[in-house]
Amino acid sequence: MIEGRKAQSLTEESRSWVQFAADPPAAARTAVDDFDPDRTALCLLGAFAQVDRYCGRESRGGRTPATAALEDKSLNDAVERECLNDGVSGRIRVDPPA
Residue 77 lies in a domain: no
Q: What's the confidence (pLDDT) of residue 91?
A: 57
Is residue 80 in some structural domain? no
CA atoms within 13 A on the CB side of 57: 20
Can you tell me the distance from the alpha carbon of 25 to that of 51, in angstroms, rounded to the nearest whole number?
Answer: 15
Q: Is residue 45 part of a domain?
A: yes
pLDDT at position 78 is 75
Under 8 Å between Cβ of 60 and 45: yes
Q: Could you report the per-residue pLDDT of 11-61, keeping only the tens digit for each?
A: 788 888 888 888 999 999 999 999 999 999 999 988 888 888 899 999 998
Whether 75 is in a domain gets the answer no
Full domain range(s) for residue 28:
10-64
Residue 92 lies in a domain: no
Local confidence band at 94 (pLDDT 50, 70, 90 cut-offs) = low
Residue 18 lies inside a defined structural domain of this protein: yes
Rounded Cα distance, 23 and 33, in Å: 15
φ, ψ for residue 45 (rounded to 5)? Answer: -105, 155
Compute the distance between CA of residue 9 and CA of residue 7 in angstroms, rounded to an integer: 6
